[in-house]
Amino acid sequence: MQKRFLKIKSILYFFTVMSGILNIQAQDLEPRLLSAMPINGNITVVTYSHSGGNILVDNSLPVEDLTANINNIVFGYVRSFKLFNRLTKVDVIIPYSFGKYNALVYEEQTDVTRNGLADSQLRISMILLGVTPLKPQDYFTQKKKKFRLGVNFRVRVPVGAYDSDYALNVGTNRWTFQSGIGGSYTLKNRFIFEAHLNSWLFTKNNDFYHGNYTQQRPLFGLQLHAAYIFKPGVWLALSAGKTTGGKLEINDVLQEIAQKNSRVGAAFAYKLNKYTGLKLAYTNGFSTRTGADFNSIILGFSYVWFDKK
């Protein structure tokens, strides 16, 4: 009986870790987060991403060779406007995920496939210093300031595909709140250096796998970026990010393993014409104690327009 209890507890912990890792995406490296645009602007974005690699969990768990391959298609919309005389942007993200996961659990090969709508996201960001919110005809003539300071707040809405009969789901069945602050400095109108601090808070999942419940402690992240602007709309960025924290509770029992991940990445954006652009990005996990040691490649297409009035 004791052995069976430990087995169930281990499997619960294992799938809780996987659910948290695969749905948080807290280490999304986002260079040029403080980039500005005129007010009354609109951007639609379609992005494809592929992530694959190992997931590292506690050595005491009966899990070996845990790997994942995840494909995401993301649809996004961004709107810029003036709020409290500050440039503000709101973006909505709707992702669809295709995932396949493989592992040896108690020396038995386990393959799981999960496809479906993932949790949607809503984010509002505001540049507090460094940009004056203006319409297009005035925005491009203003003198650019070297320093910018901004804040953002994001909500991940639990609308993704979820079934408590499965221990691993595309959706998370919990609300996630992310807040962040960032600053950037421009050197010689070509080099841009950015730093972002982020924190993630999670509500409880009260319906995790046959009546169990889980809670995750806050997760904290730091990102550093350096970008070079070739010309307006064409830039290259190098990035590094680190997250820590995020310990899990299963049925109010704290698991003493925190997530610690470090990632590096590069992104290149190219403006095709007045309205459209492409973005290619790559990230690599170079140091992972517990969590997703993934390599990811992202390709995005964007279309921008402004209100006719």
pLDDT digits (tens, 9 = 90+) for 259-284: 677 889 999 999 999 999 999 999 88
Contacts of 207 (CB under 8 A, 6+ apart): 164, 173, 213
- Dump pLDDT digits (tens) for 129-139: 999 999 988 88
pLDDT for the residue numbered 24: 47
pLDDT for the residue numbered 3: 43
How far apart CA 29 and CA 223 sit, in angstroms, is 7
pLDDT for the residue numbered 216: 85
Q: What is the reported pTM? A: 0.86
Second-level CATH architecture of 2-306? Beta Barrel (2.40)
Reduce the secondary structure of 59-100 to three states and give it as a string: CCCCEEEEEEEEEEEEEEEEEEEEECCEEEEEEEEEEEEEEE
Mean pLDDT, rounded, for 193-217:
88
Q: Which of 16, 29, 12 is nearest to 290 (CA)?
A: 16
How far apart CA 185 and CA 201 sit, in angstroms, is 29
Q: Give yes or no for residue 301 having a pLDDT over 50.
A: yes
- Dump pLDDT digits (tens) for 106-116: 666 677 788 88
